[in-house]
Amino acid sequence: MSGMRCYRYGDHAVVLAAQGPPSLACQQRLWTLAERVRTWPQVEDVVPGMNNLTLICRPLRMAFDELTHRLRAAWMDAEAEALSGREVDIPVDYGGEHGPDLEEVARLTGLTAGEVVSRHAGGDYVVFFLGFLPGFAYLGGLDPRLHVPRRATPRLSVPAGSVGIGGAQTGIYPLAAPGGWQLIGRTCEVLFDPTRTPPTLLAPGDRVRFRIASVRP
């Protein structure tokens, strides 16, 4: 079947991987499929990713070939439907100690630091999926002029709230952790709080706007 492939992931999981570059339409189609397969009796959990969907299954409830056949059929029927996500405004302090890679991003793109900030804050972003860390949202919609490679040497510790660029995406570190994205700013918003319901600030389908709180040299 063109457009996707299925493969085993360990003993109790199956992955559907869509072919082609990441896009909002593909993610929306995956979200639709996720809601549909979540009700299947053999499925314990569904994990959307970038251009893929992982099904955690109960063993022996359905043969792999039968499950993948049903999954392929469901993929072909799935429509790209937007989730009714929220609009979230996130203030960012750009540059300085909060954005140590802002000047490097400017150098890589041929823009000034001010232009990098304006283009980044001027984007309309959609949460494609959560991964890497609890509450880490991978955001689609980054201006193509801001697509820059990750750092050659990742940092051992990136502060929580750091706003970074990695390839064609931007995102916010919810927790202090190692990371290799280019850091251009930081927000005071709490992206993950295990005592909150839900614990994550963002969810797939949410629309995000970055608001310039300050720009530091």
3-state secondary structure of 33: helix
pTM of the full predicted structure?
A: 0.81
Can you read off the two tokens belonging to residue 45? 């959990």
- Mean model confidence pLDDT for the chain: 91
**DSSP class of residue 145?**
G
Q: Which domains does the chain have, with CATH numbers?
A: 4-77 (3.30.1360.40), 87-216 (2.40.100.10)
For the chain, 217 residues long, give each residue's pLDDT as a single digit of tens: 347 889 888 888 899 998 888 888 889 889 889 888 988 888 899 988 889 999 998 765 567 788 888 888 888 887 766 666 799 999 999 999 999 999 999 999 999 999 999 999 999 999 999 988 999 999 999 999 999 999 999 999 999 999 999 999 999 999 999 999 999 999 999 999 999 999 999 999 999 999 999 998 8
Distance CA 59, CA 28 (A): 28
Separation in Å, CA 168 to CA 86, 145, 165, 204: 23, 9, 7, 17
pLDDT in tens, 128-181: 999 889 999 999 999 999 999 999 999 999 999 999 999 999 999 999 999 999
Give the residue among 123, 136, 142 at the shortest CA–CA distance from 202: 136
* Phi, psi for 119 (deg, rounded to 5): -70, -40
Distance CA 51, CA 26 (A): 7
pLDDT in tens, 40-49: 888 899 988 8
3-state secondary structure of 89: strand
Distance CA 188, CA 210 (A): 12
> Is residue 11 within 8 Å of 59, Cβ to Cβ?
yes
> Is residue 108 within 8 Å of 114, Cβ to Cβ?
no
> Is residue 172 within 8 Å of 90, Cβ to Cβ?
yes
Can you read off the two tokens belonging to residue 179? 């990371």
> Is residue 56 within 8 Å of 40, Cβ to Cβ?
no
